[in-house]
Amino acid sequence: MDFFTTANGIAIRAGDTGKGKAIVLLHGYLETMEVWENTITELSKHFRLVAMDLPGHGLSGFRKDATTMEFMADCIKSLLDKLNVPECFIVGHSMGGYAALALAKKYPETAKALCLFSSTPNADTEQKKKDRDREIELIKAGKFELILKTGISRGFADMNVKKFDEEIFAIEDTATISDIDGITACLQAMKMREDMNGFIKTIQQKTLFIFGKYDNYITFDVAESIMQKYPDATACILENSGHSGFIEEPEKSIKILNDFAEKMLL
Q: How many CB atoms lie within 10 A of CB 263?
A: 13
Instruction: Return the pLDDT at 41.
Output: 98
Cα–Cα distance measured from residue 76 to residue 51, given in angstroms and rounded to the nearest whole number: 10
Instruction: Return the pLDDT at 1.
Output: 72
Answer yes or no: are the C-beta atoms of 231 and 172 closer than 8 Å.
no
- The amino acid sitting at 152 is I
Mention every residue, 6+ apart, whose C-beta is less than 8 A from residue 14: 2, 3, 4, 5, 33, 50, 51, 52, 53, 79
- Domain hosting residue 8, numbered range: 2-265
Which has the closest alpha carbon to 15: 69, 64, 58, 71?
A: 58
Please determine, for residue 266, whether its predicted confidence score (pLDDT) is greater than 80. Answer: no
Which has the closest alpha carbon to 34: 53, 56, 50?
A: 53
Domain count within the chain: 1
- pTM (whole model) above 0.95: yes
Average pLDDT over the chain, rounded to an integer: 96
Cα–Cα distance measured from residue 28 to residue 189, given in angstroms and rounded to the nearest whole number: 13
Answer yes or no: are the C-beta atoms of 25 and 41 closer than 8 Å.
no
Cα–Cα distance measured from residue 93 to residue 136, given in angstroms and rounded to the nearest whole number: 21
Q: What is the DSSP letter of 217?
A: S
CATH of the domain at 43: 3.40.50.1820
pLDDT per position as a tens digit, 182-226: 999 999 999 999 999 999 999 888 999 999 999 999 999 999 999
pLDDT per position as a tens digit, 148-175: 999 999 999 999 999 999 999 999 999 9
Q: What is the DSSP letter of 53?
A: P
Backbone torsions φ then ψ of 54, nearest 5 degrees: -65, 155
Q: How many CB atoms lie within 10 A of CB 64?
A: 12
Q: Strands across the sheet with 234-238, in order?
A: 2-7, 10-17, 48-52, 22-26, 88-93, 111-117, 206-212, 234-238
